[in-house]
Amino acid sequence: MKNRIQSLFVQALRQLPVETLEKAGQLPVPEIERTRDPSHGDFASNLAMKLAKPCRMNPRELAAQLIAALPDSPLIDKTEIAGPGFVNVYLSADAYHQQLHDIIESAETYGCQPASGKKIIVEFISANPTGPLHVGHGRLAAYGASLSNLLVAAGNEVFREYYVNDAGRQMAILAASLWLRYLESHGAVFVFPQNGYKGDYITRIADDMKLEHADKLVVDTATVFANLPADGPDGDEDKFIDALIERARETLGEQGFGQVLDFGLKKILDDIRDDLEEFGVHIDRWYAEHDLHSNGAIDETLKLLRANKNVFEKDGAVWFRATDFGDEKDRVVVRKNGQTTYFASDIAYHLEKRQRGFDLLLDVLGADHHGYVARVRAGLEATGQPGESLEVRLMHFVALFRGGERVQMSTRSGDFVTLRELRREVGNDAARFFYVLRSNDQHLDFDLELAKSHSSDNPVYYIQYAHARICSVMQQMSDKGFDWQAERAWNHLEKLNEQHEKALIVSLSRYPEVISLSAKNRAPHTLAHYLRDLANDFHTYYNAHTFLVEDQDLRDALIALIVAVRQVIANGLALLGVSAPESM
RNA sequence: GCGCCCGUAGCUCAGCUGGAUAGAGUACUCGGCUACGAACCGAGCGGUCGGGAGUUCGAAUCUCUCCGGGCGCGCCA
């Protein structure tokens, strides 16, 4: 609707008096916006005020010229000049009734924009596979999934990817932790490393490993701990865990150690996969960092950087000249010990995404990663890619409270609340909705007690209730022996002329604009707030009107309106990954 | 110290590329079921948009500065 009004203004612009056009020079794209106050009509344009300066004319005078130039349209009832020079547009009743027709005919595609041809890869969550997802990852998952859905609705081709950090020290620590728990399950007794992963899930995986490998990986405890440096808190816990990993590699051999690592990795990834699937979060591809090493992508990237003279050697390490591309300092890509850094993998990974043909690389990351945005962009530019092809959305932290008290979260200590626990407590729908209710750059306080005890006050139920109520009306309708056909309703939509009805149709007609805006701003919360408002409009209407009236013509029209409401609620909730129940 | 983000009603937060009288939820005070679901609706109360300066027809929004809070600044991932 907004687009149609806008195109009328574009035409009007071209029809302005010649002397005005000459003064205006380059013609602007007219901005059309919804009015906040119904007494200002339905849409307003500030075009006259924008033109006033270059034309050196009175904005109200310009507004009059614009109105005169505006082509006749059945959509517009009347126009007026208001305030400093706004052009207010009042839509015709017909224009609104046409909306209902569009919604019901388009059904689940209502609100979707035409294909843009743009290919976007959304990388999100990408939590290290060293333990189950926790509540912080849940927010990344809910946001990334909803945003992906929105981008699809806005006409983009979207690919959802999870980057698996399965190479590097953290994985080695995981393997060592798992192996030690496995030794414990065979009766070994020792003090667990300060820096090991201490969560219960490691013990459970160790038990599984015992079932599969029996005692094949058991080594005498004294041999394992012989001549190791002191662990924390008195010694150095980092040195200790690294030495322990080295010992594990020696005693088990690379193959045995690899077996332990792969066993743990697979178990944890399976758990994450199941968890996300249950949460309604689909991943198209799990991209392993390990593959970047084995398929030569990292070597290729380094070769490219060398060829472009973007690296130098210092202190035995290889550095990337990130400062040449706007980063604050140069970064190591190959360590003194010959190993490539995580950052090297990251350049290779992002370059590879571009090579797969994606126009936009959209990363959803925790806010603690903000410092790394500049260097990855620098890496992309150095490898010949446009810096704008990378877009990063940072997600602020979730602070978890239990009864007003802050819950500490740390994967390492095992003292944390998992996404799975959260979902079990508040339900998938409430969790999905709550997570995206706030803007991504806003901290989120999630109080478990509150979410549990007041779960029926949850805004998601308010919206779902509107949907269920409409389904219930439809049920009652057939119970009473009435039927409803869309085709019959089209002839009687003019009966929808009350204020509540108009307000409701205005809300419905805004939906496509909300989709565009939410997608453009990467802001699922805009859609969440819209749905809440729409549900409110409906509940208000519901309380003031009876739908199942005897007059068939009127009833057909009334039902058409609420069927349209049901459709838009269902469409919106689907994008947020929330169910639209027929009863609750 | 440098960089990024945040500061809007008692509390939790919306506020689109600058637009007309800054909005929701919650809390509190009233009122509404013999109705298609009261998991609902309506009314009221509540603000110097952190402070100050600037840009202009017009600023919560843009610029500068100060104050307060979060995060980051590894040859970790």
Band (A147; pLDDT cuts 50, 70, 90):
very high
What pLDDT was estimated at residue A37?
A: 76
Strand partners, A80: A88
* Assigned domain for A139 exists: no
CATH number at residue A561: 1.10.730.10
pLDDT, chain A, mean: 90
Alpha-carbon distances of A447 from A103, A394, A403, A444, rounded to whole Å: 38, 22, 7, 10
CA pair distance A202, A198, nearest whole angstrom: 7
- pLDDT (tens digit, 9 = 90+) per residue, A480-515? 999 999 999 999 999 998 888 988 999 999 999 999
Is the Cβ atom of A37 within 7 Å of strand B at any atom? Answer: yes
What pLDDT was estimated at residue A401?
A: 73
Binning chain A into helix, strand and coil, the percentages to the nearest 5 are 60, 15, 30
Is the Cβ atom of A442 within 7 Å of strand B at any atom? Answer: yes
Q: Alpha-carbon Rg of chain A, whole angstroms?
A: 30
A:202-231 Cβ neighbours of strand B under 7 Å: none
* Assigned domain for A403 exists: no
A276 pLDDT above the threshold of 90: yes
CA of A141 to C1' of B50 (A): 33
**Is residue A390 within 8 Å of residue A123, measured between CB atoms?**
no
Neighbour tally for A557: CB within 10 Å: 24
Name the residue with the least CA to C1' distance from nucleotide B76: A169
* Assigned domain for A136 exists: no
CA of A517 to C1' of B16 (A): 7
**Is residue A311 within 8 Å of residue A320, measured between CB atoms?**
yes
Is the Cβ atom of A186 within 7 Å of strand B at any atom? Answer: no
- pLDDT (tens digit, 9 = 90+) per residue, A228-239? 998 878 888 888
Query: Amino acid letter at A120?
Result: I
CA geometry: angle at A273 spanning A368 and A433, to 5°? 65
* Assigned domain for A451 exists: no
CA of A437 to C1' of B14 (A): 10
Q: What is the mean pLDDT of residues A82-94?
A: 85
Strand partners, A444: A398
Which DSSP letter does residue A114 get?
P
Band (A148; pLDDT cuts 50, 70, 90):
very high
Domain that holds residue A185: 169-266
**Is residue A390 within 8 Å of residue A363, measured between CB atoms?**
yes
What pLDDT was estimated at residue A69?
A: 85
**Is residue A508 within 8 Å of residue A99, measured between CB atoms?**
yes
What pLDDT was estimated at residue A108?
A: 95
Q: For chain A, how many structural domains are there in total?
A: 3
CATH number at residue A86: 3.30.1360.70
Domain termination residue (choose one: A214, A234, A266): A266
CA of A254 to C1' of B45 (A): 71
- pLDDT (tens digit, 9 = 90+) per residue, A298-344? 999 999 999 999 999 999 999 999 999 988 899 999 999 999 999 99
A83 with A190, same domain: the answer is: no
Domain termination residue (choose one: A91, A107, A140): A91
CA pair distance A313, A101, nearest whole angstrom: 67
For residues A171, A175, A180, A185, the Cα torsion angle rounded to the nearest 10 degrees is 130
HEC assignment per residue over A239-259: HHHHHHHHHHHHHHHHHHHHH
Q: Please give the structure tokens belonging to residue A98.
A: 């046409």
Q: What is the mean pLDDT of residues A527-539?
A: 94
- pLDDT (tens digit, 9 = 90+) per residue, A214-254? 999 999 999 999 889 988 788 888 889 999 999 999 999 99
CA of A483 to C1' of B34 (A): 26
A463 with A552, same domain: the answer is: yes
Q: Please give the structure tokens belonging to residue A531.
A: 């749905």
**Is residue A5 within 8 Å of residue A75, measured between CB atoms?**
yes
A74 with A178, same domain: the answer is: no
Of the candidates A1, A97, A74, the one whose C-alpha atom is nearest the C-alpha of residue A491 is: A97
* Assigned domain for A308 exists: no
Query: Amino acid letter at A386?
Result: P
A81 with A178, same domain: the answer is: no
Query: Amino acid letter at A210?
Result: K
* Assigned domain for A529 exists: yes
What pLDDT was estimated at residue A413?
A: 59
Q: Quick one: what percent of chain A has pLDDT higher than 90?
A: 65
What pLDDT was estimated at residue A415?
A: 59
Is the Cβ atom of A298 within 7 Å of strand B at any atom? Answer: no
What pLDDT was estimated at residue A9?
A: 87
**Is residue A400 within 8 Å of residue A409, measured between CB atoms?**
yes
A79 with A174, same domain: the answer is: no
Domain termination residue (choose one: A91, A125, A150): A91
Please enumerate in sequence order all residues whose Cβ is within 8 A of that of A283, keeping only pairs 6 or more positions apart, or say none: A125, A160, A161, A162, A273, A276
- pLDDT (tens digit, 9 = 90+) per residue, A59-72? 788 888 888 888 88
ipTM of the complex: 0.94
List the alpha helices (DSSP H) in A56-92. Answer: 59-69
What pLDDT was estimated at residue A62?
A: 83
* Assigned domain for A389 exists: no
Most confident of A78-87, A501-510, A554-563: A554-563
**Is residue A361 within 8 Å of residue A122, measured between CB atoms?**
no
* Assigned domain for A550 exists: yes
Classify the phi-psi angles of A80: left when phi > 0, otherwise alpha if psi is within -120 to 50, otherwise beta.
beta
Q: Please give the structure tokens belonging to residue A192.
A: 């667990």
- pLDDT (tens digit, 9 = 90+) per residue, A277-287? 999 999 999 99
Of the candidates A556, A580, A386, A401, the one whose C-alpha atom is nearest the C-alpha of residue A486 is: A556
Is the Cβ atom of A434 within 7 Å of strand B at any atom? Answer: no
Torsion angles phi and psi, residue A479, rounded to 5 = -60, -35
